[in-house]
Structure 1
């Protein structure tokens, strides 16, 4: 398996269907979260909805580059979640995350291995490999937060 295929598989595992590293993934953790739970504030932690928006913000931003566009995302906007006021709006956010994640993995898998050592947009961002590895690590970091916040919400409701 090429290194690009391995990266695409690792990304898909954390977002959509893996169990190997964390014994869970975003899709598994979020499948039964209601919009009310997604908006539940626990102390000074981000909400599940905010973290979901945040991770998709970066996936969509990098995906835009994969598709030949510019890197248009800015860290300062990465938590600017529009209000989620219904189950339908929550499901729209989730569906966007799944769609973006699937597309990200599919496009990544099509890259030649040699692309991984190329500069990603600007030298200050490093290589494609650095950014893709960073996206996977970023996703696992927030998956852990979502998992813990979900447990806190569920234990509060018992």
Structure 2
């Protein structure tokens, strides 16, 4: 299996359908979350909706680069989630994440292995491999947060 295929498989596992590392994935964790739960603040933690937006923001930014565009994302905007006030808005946010994740996987699978060692946009960002690996690790980091926030919400609801 090529490097890009392996990376695409790892990315798919954390976002869409895997169980290997965390025994869960974003799609599984978000499937039963209501919009009210997604927007409920627990202490100083980000909400589930904010974390969902945050991850999609970065995935969409990398997809844009993979498609030949510029790197337009900025850390300062990565939590600028518009208000979620309905089931439909929450479902739209999740659908955007799934669509962008699928695009990411397809584009990565089509990428030649030789690109993995090329500079990603600018030397200060390192290589494509570094950025793709970083995206996978970033997803697992926030997947863990979402899992814990869901447990805290369940405790709060049953109290």
| Alignment TM-score, normalising by the size of structure 1 | 0.99
Task: Tell me what 1:29 maps to.
Answer: 29
Alignment of 1:1-158 (within 5 A): 1-158=1-158
Give the ranges of 4+ consecutive aligned residues of structure 1 lying more than 2 Å apart after TM superposition. Answer: none
1:92-134 alpha-carbon deviations (Å, 9 max, x no partner): 0000000000110111011111000000000000000000000
Displacement of 1:25: 0.2
1:32-64 alpha-carbon deviations (Å, 9 max, x no partner): 100000001000000000000000000000000
Contiguous gaps of at least 5 residues in structure 1:
none
Contiguous gaps of at least 5 residues in structure 2:
none
Q: Aligned-pair RMSD on alpha carbons?
A: 0.4
SS at match of 1:72: coil
1:69-109 alpha-carbon deviations (Å, 9 max, x no partner): 00000000000000000000000000000000011011101
Displacement of 1:155: 1.6
2 CA distance for matches of 1:103 and 1:62?
Answer: 10
